């Protein structure tokens, strides 16, 4: 159910409707838009009796939403969601979902302070504003590198302070999420956990934005329903991410499904990023698919980068070199202009660490 307020409705009228909805035993999700506010109603098993709400001051109409996903849907919120990260410390303001593409780059996993700082510096120089790195790694084998845990998070916090980069890192369960939300700017939920509903609900109770990766065999509807789980708990800052799905094709690790970009954009207001690193699994395919993702209208990219990928403890084969990141950024910058979007400029080559942070 969706309550569409009149354009001239006052904040008090919006609040009164939310209170009424809550009194009826449901949850109210006010979604302010450019023209008017819509209030999503969840927690109802059947149809909500619209009568009493329809008559309240400021209410335009009460609509029954027939799709299984509601809060993620454009029916509830027509305007594109732009997630804003306000200026803070050495980090300048950044957005995901706006005109500037959100570029996230960094190693698969945080392996040491030296590794993270070396890569972090190059990521900042490339113009990217977000640094990725796993401190908790969901590995296929229990004997593979599992991540550095809280020590890895602390290293990433240092990368943020030194280079003015926002931190994106994965939580694999509610215990790691507790630590991740204290250090990170964006909580990543990985493909393997896309349908871990208790983890999704826990992320929905966090104050930090959530990057939700598509499960490796998830349909579009399952993907959107996973985002709905997060939003239903009150966290509306959800970023979707296509990272490839399993198919019969074996020339790549996964098959990157770029057609999901326009499909998502038709149905949902949430931003969608593309991960061409896990989507292909091969270094030589990362840049071409990054270019294609930008051309297809992605709101940004998440890229694995390593200065010494042969020695990487995970995903070295798909990690590009820092010089390749610079080239990728430059190419995507040019493609983005066709779509009236932007990729942030690289920092001057000679700038030192303090200047890199100051440029942010």
Binding partner selected for residue 243 from Mn ion, ligand PEP, none, CB under the kind-specific 5 to 8 Å limit: ligand PEP
Binding partner selected for residue 106 from ligand PEP, Mn ion, none, CB under the kind-specific 5 to 8 Å limit: none
218 three-state secondary structure: coil
Among 34-42, 90-98, 151-159, 186-194, which window interacts with ligand PEP (CB under 6 A)?
Answer: 186-194
Q: DSSP of 124-174, one letter per residue?
A: HHHT--EEE-BSS---SSTTS----THHHHHHHHHHHHHH--EEEEE--SH
Q: Tell me which of 243, 253, 285, 306 binds ligand PEP, using CB under 6 A.
A: 243
Q: Three-state SS across 329-343?
A: HHHHHHHHHHCCCEC
User: From residue 97 to residue 116, what is the string marking binding to Mn ion with x (rule CB under 5 A)?
Assistant: -----------x--------
Binding partner selected for residue 129 from Mn ion, ligand PEP, none, CB under the kind-specific 5 to 8 Å limit: none
| Cβ at position 12, least distance to ligand PEP in Å | 44
| Cβ at position 343, least distance to ligand PEP in Å | 21
CB 272 within 8 Å of CB 261:
yes
| Cβ at position 95, least distance to ligand PEP in Å | 21
Give the CB-side neighbour count of residue 154, counting CA atoms within 13 A. 6
Question: What is the longest distance spanned by two Cα atoms in the chain?
Answer: 66
Per CB under 6 A, contacts with ligand PEP among 283-302 are none
> Residue 14 — φ and ψ, nearest 5°?
-65, -45
Q: Tell me which of 213, 269, 306, 341 binds ligand PEP, using CB under 6 A.
A: 213
Per CB under 6 A, contacts with ligand PEP among 78-137 are 108, 134
User: Closest by alpha carbon to 37, among 94, 88, 78, 81?
Assistant: 78
Binding partner selected for residue 213 from Mn ion, ligand PEP, none, CB under the kind-specific 5 to 8 Å limit: ligand PEP
Dihedral, 334, 339, 344, 346 alpha carbons, nearest 10: 0
Question: Which residues would be at the binding site for ligand PEP (CB under 6 A)?
Answer: 108, 134, 138, 190-192, 213, 243, 278
């Amino acid at each position: 159910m969706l309550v569409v307020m009149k354009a001239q409705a006052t904040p008090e009228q919006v609040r009164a409707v939310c209170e009424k909805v809550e009194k009826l035993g449901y949850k109210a999700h006010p979604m302010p838009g450019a023209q008017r506010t819509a209030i999503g109603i969840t927690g109802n098993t059947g149809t909500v009796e619209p009568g009493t709400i329809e008559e309240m001051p400021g209410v335009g109409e009460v609509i029954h939403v027939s799709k299984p996903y509601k809060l993620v849907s454009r029916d509830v919120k027509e305007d594109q969601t732009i997630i804003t990260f306000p200026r803070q410390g050495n980090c300048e303001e950044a957005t995901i979902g706006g005109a500037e593409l959100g570029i996230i780059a960094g190693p698969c996993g945080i392996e040491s302070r030296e590794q993270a700082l070396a890569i972090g510096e190059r990521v900042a120089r490339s113009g990217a504003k977000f640094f990725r790195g796993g401190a908790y790694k969901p590995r296929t084998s229990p004997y593979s590198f599992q991540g550095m845990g809280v020590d890895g998070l602390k290293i990433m916090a240092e990368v943020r302070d030194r280079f003015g980069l926002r931190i994106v890192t994965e939580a694999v369960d509610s215990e790691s999420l507790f630590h991740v939300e204290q250090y990170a700017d964006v909580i990543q939920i990985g493909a393997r956990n896309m349908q871990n509903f208790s983890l999704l609900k826990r992320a929905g109770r966090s104050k930090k934005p959530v990057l939700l990766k598509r499960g490796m065999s998830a349909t579009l509807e399952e993907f959107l329903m996973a985002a709905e789980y997060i939003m239903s708990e009150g966290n509306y800052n959800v970023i979707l991410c296509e990272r490839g799905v399993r198919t019969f094709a074996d020339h790549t690790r996964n098959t990157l499904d770029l057609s999901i970009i326009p499909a998502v954009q038709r149905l949902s207001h949430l931003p969608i990023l593309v991960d061409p690193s896990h989507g292909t699994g091969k270094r030589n395919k990362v840049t071409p698919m990054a270019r294609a993702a930008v051309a297809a209208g992605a709101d940004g990219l998440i890229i694995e980068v390593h200065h010494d990928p042969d020695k990487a403890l995970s995903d070295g084969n798909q990690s590009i070199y820092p010089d390749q990141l610079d080239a990728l950024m430059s190419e995507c910058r040019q493609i983005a202009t066709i779509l009236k979007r932007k990729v942030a400029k690289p920092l001057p080559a000679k700038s030192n660490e303090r200047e890199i942070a100051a440029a942010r």
